[in-house]
Each structure stands twice: as C-alpha cells, then as structure tokens.
Structure 1
C-alpha cells in the first residue's frame, strides 16, 4: 500500500510539475505570458434565446466548390449580379464566372511563393500578415468598386477590373488596425467598419475569443475627406456590419457579448447605440436582404461552460494556464463539435427564422449569409466550401 501511495504521489507531483512548467508550450496563451481575461456583460442564462431548429434544416444545404475555395469568409455579387466573389485563406479574392474560379484581386503587394495554395486552412496562418487575409467584401453599387476589409492591411478598394487593391486607411487616432474585419457602404460613400482588436491579429483570433479583451473599435471612413473616425471603442470582438434598408441605422455584432447592437445614423438618436438583439451564440458577419431583414451567421450556440467562463474570468484564466491546446479548449467551450446556426431578424430586432445543423453533419460553421434569388449563400472562414440553402 505504501508503494502504491508513493506511486500516486509521484504521479501527482509529475502532473503538477508538468502543468506548472508546460515544457511543450501547449497552453493556449503560451505566446502571451501577460494575458488577462476580461468579464463579459451577459444577461442571465435563463434569458438567452432558447429557440431551436428541430428539423436541422441546414443539413439540407448543398455543398458547392468543395476544396476549390479555402475559408470563404465573405460572399458577394457585383452590381451586375455576377459572382459569387469571395476572399480565401491564401489572400486572394476569387470570382466565379459561372464555369470556373479565377483570381480577381489581391490585398498584399508583396505576394510570393509563401502564399501558394496549401492542403490545410491552418497552414496559412503563419504567413497571413504577408499574403493578406481578405474578410468583409462589399461592392459600391454605383461605381462597381469592391471595398475590402483585410485583417492585416486595413480598408482597401479595387476597381471593377480587379488587380492589386489600394489601401484607404490603416489606423485611427494614431492606433494602427490590428484585425480589420467587416464593412458596409452608405449611399454618400461613408464606410462603416470594425477593427476587432488593436492587440490581437487574426491569426490569434482564438486567443482574442478566450480573453474577451475589450479593445475592438467601430469606425467610419469618409471617402471624401479621407478621414477615419472612431465611433465606438472598448468592444469585445466586434465583427459584422450591415446598414438598414432605409439607411437610418446599421447593426454590428460583438462576438464575446453574443449580440447585435444598433448604431443610429439619423433622427434624435443619431450617434448613439443600443442593444438590437441578444443572440443564441457567437456571431460573425451580418447581411441585409432586400426586405430589410438581417441574416446573422453564428459560429456555434452558447454553452453553459462558455457562459460561466465569460462571467467568471478568473475561472477561464485558470483553465488557460493549463497545458491544454487551444483547439481542445475551444471545442470544450462549444460543446465538443462545430455546429452552425444562421438567424434572421426583423428591422425591429425580432427573431424571424432560425436554421441549424446541430450535429455539424453538413454545415459545420458559418461566417456569413448572403441572400440572393431565393437562396442563402453561406461562407465559412473554417471550411473549404460554400454551402447553398434554398429557401422555401
């Protein structure tokens, strides 16, 4: 018995030593030794949206262009209805001409062999800051210019013929953008966009999710004066942006807070913001359809563990100091597997429709939903395809 006890004590000591020293740098925050986890303001768990898609209708989606597009974050169509166009993991923006994909634009002026196609999506992370990572895409319907939010190169523009994009703005108030994410264009040429963090780059997005750092900003670029203005700051992973049909406001998503907020552009509330809708999970991009409704791509449904780690940051900090790799910690937080949700909201913020793939059998992740001609085009920064769902 004494020998067995000594063995157990020895194993416990080795485990404690391993956890304390992390000799193989398995901790998710190993590269960020001074990291801090921030609390997230959330409603009580019982008040989070509980609606479900009992039929798992997203499993009826058709997967197109499998292994032809890697990480198609944003999907858009040009003013003539051609496309889709999408930005992919190697830094290119591709155009589908109805028969094949072709290179349309690039955000990096220093592309090299480092940016050549690779077998895995995650193989690009190391060189994203060189090759670029186009995220949000929007066409100016009047000029045909494509505006791009690139995670590393800021806000850019390329003409209707494509090519190397021209940078428009890369900083605000002397603080460089670190993670430019999404945008929308108003009729007067104003561009509203998000910078998800001024500390974490996109290749460290998992660490930004874990820490819930409130360093994100909501910004406006004036295409006439070339000025960039900060509209809101201290946001927790701001992401998608989409103007209302009447252009009186726009909505933007905050990942860690799991919500949409409305920023007023006109009327008595102009220049102020308010909560528009609490979401069932972690949102990405938002897009407005022809009726003025908002489609929201949601990476995964909120779990009780993720909720507890959000409201009790010290508990999250403790887990992040354990030598458990980032991927495993992420899967623990989302319930063990990827599972996409997309939701449609009215202009008043009422939930109208919810589509899910709860088992992650077909649509495992969603970054954006673009409605066109009775179909939903669903992109994902994590998947090598575009899913297309036919609306009934």
Structure 2
C-alpha cells in the first residue's frame, strides 16, 4: 500500500506540472553536481563573484572572511575581511551570529566594474535595475532611462521568497527562490528573461535540503554557482 501511495503521489505531481507549467519554461537537468568545499569549520557562502580576470569564485562566509577559490589543489584562501576588529584567533571558524559585530559578515558579494550598484541586478542596456522583495515575493523594476525614468513597476511575481538576483551575459536573470509552503520546502533557481517571464527552473532541493534553502544562483562560463547560508560548500552545476 505504501509503494502504491508513493507512485500515486508522483503521478499526481507529474500531471500537475503538465497542466500548470508553461510549455515555454524548461526544467534544467543536472549532468553533474559538484561541491567547492569551504575551509574547515566554515559555512555560509551566501554569494559568489568572479574578478575581472575570471579569478574565483570569491565568496563571503559566516566567520566574516571573504575567501577566494584557487583551484582544486589549493582550494580556498583568505582574500579580505569585513571588520577592522576581526582577529583570526577569535573569528576563524566561528559561525555564530553573536560574533558578527566583531568578526563581520559579508553579504551580496560582487565586484564593481562601473556596471551598476551592488545588491541589485542592472539590465544589460543600463535602462533599469531589478530589486527582489522578500515580503511581497516579487521582483521590482526601477527605471533609470527613457520615458519611464524615475518610476517603478512589477517585473515578475515569484512563487516563493526571492533572494539574490544575477544577470547573465545574454541579459537574462537568475534568481534564487526559497519556497516554504508546507509540507514541503523547495530551493529553486529560476532564469527570467527581459520580459519578466520564467524560462528555466532548476530544482536544488535535493542538494540543499535545509531550513534556509539557497541564496543565490549565478551563471558563469557555462556553470551555475549556488550559494547558501548554512552549507559548507559552493554548489556547481553545468548549465
């Protein structure tokens, strides 16, 4: 009976997807999922960034450091700190939020190349910026140029809590979505085109089965780099 019940549930989910998901939206398939392991006793690679020469990824972790990935033989090394009061003896490997005032805690890491503000996504033609809204579960667009300059509108509504948003080289946007609807939680990366339409969804729930889900999905040279608040690795998957 239990096996029949599971099969029935799976069949129901498949039917629901066929009836409710737009045919133009693709579900990505993972040929492989790998992990870039953080230094010992550290967690929380909330966001990733690559420098102008392609070095990295760099990521901010819970003990206040920004670390840089130097390849499989070296792994991560210290790159920067986020607090003048931080000491290695007191902070390295200490991930508790009570030490953030002393050790610092980097969020929303990004390199500034004169392409726009940090923490939001700038459109490819620099005409607007996108800002994710946690409570309203939507992405807001603020116009910088054109007849709509200095006004805003809703770019997209999402089914869950949006976190970091990153633009791709082609002008689409990847946004991390954490869906906390009971009884199941989902960690999704969704690629949204310039018209505000979801064109691809990647389900990272199996890789990030935690109460905090994922915080970022960034596409770089054919790979997706996935961030989180409570894991000890950066997830990597091919597009």
Q: TM-score range by the shorter chain?
A: 0.7 to 0.9
Instruction: Tell me which of 67, 79, 93 is aligned to 2:66.
Output: 93
User: Any conservation in 1 of the 2:30–2:238 contact (CA below 8 Å)?
Assistant: no
* Aligned residue number for residue 136 of structure 1: 108
Answering whether residue 79 of structure 2 is matched by residue 104 of structure 1, we say yes
* Aligned residue number for residue 76 of structure 1: 49
Choose 1 or 2 for highest CA Rg. Answer: 1
Instruction: Tell me which of 121, 134, 137 is aligned to 1:255.
Output: 134
Answering whether residue 198 of structure 2 is matched by residue 351 of structure 1, we say yes
What are the equivalent positions in structure 2 for 1:46-195 lying under 5 Å apart? 51=21, 57=29, 60-65=32-37, 68=40, 69-98=42-71, 99-112=74-87, 113-118=89-94, 123-141=95-113, 185-186=115-116, 191=117, 193=119
Task: Specify whether residues 107 and 369 from structure 1 end up closer, same or farther in structure 2 by C-alpha distance, changes over 3 A only.
Answer: same
User: Any conservation in 2 of the 1:363–1:387 contact (CA below 8 Å)?
Assistant: no
SS in 2 for 1:340: strand
Task: Specify whether residues 281 and 377 from structure 1 end up closer, same or farther in structure 2 by C-alpha distance, changes over 3 A only.
Answer: same
Q: Distance in 2 between matches of 1:73 and 1:348?
A: 27
User: Any conservation in 1 of the 2:39–2:76 contact (CA below 8 Å)?
Assistant: no
Answering whether residue 221 of structure 2 is matched by residue 386 of structure 1, we say no
Q: Distance in 2 between matches of 1:280 and 1:58?
A: 22
- Deviations 1:309-342 (Å, cap 9, x if unpaired)? xxxxxxxxxxxxxxxxxxxxxxxxxx25653100
Answering whether residue 148 of structure 2 is matched by residue 269 of structure 1, we say yes
User: Any conservation in 2 of the 1:249–1:263 contact (CA below 8 Å)?
Assistant: yes
User: Any conservation in 2 of the 1:286–1:294 contact (CA below 8 Å)?
Assistant: yes
What are the equivalent positions in structure 2 for 1:237-256 lying under 5 Å apart? 241-256=120-135
TM-score for the superposition, normalised by structure 1: 0.50
Q: What runs of 5+ residues in structure 2 fail to find an aligned partner?
A: 1-19
Q: What is the root-mean-square deviation in Å for CA atoms of aligned residues?
A: 2.4
- Deviations 1:67-104 (Å, cap 9, x if unpaired)? 65510011010000111100000000001122321111
TM-score for the superposition, normalised by structure 2: 0.80
Structure (1/2) with the larger helix percentage: 1
Q: What runs of 5+ residues in structure 1 fail to find an aligned partner?
A: 1-49, 143-184, 194-240, 304-334
Q: Distance in 2 between matches of 1:110 and 1:278?
A: 41
Q: Distance in 2 between matches of 1:140 and 1:260?
A: 22
Task: Specify whether residues 59 and 258 from structure 1 end up closer, same or farther in structure 2 by C-alpha distance, changes over 3 A only.
Answer: farther
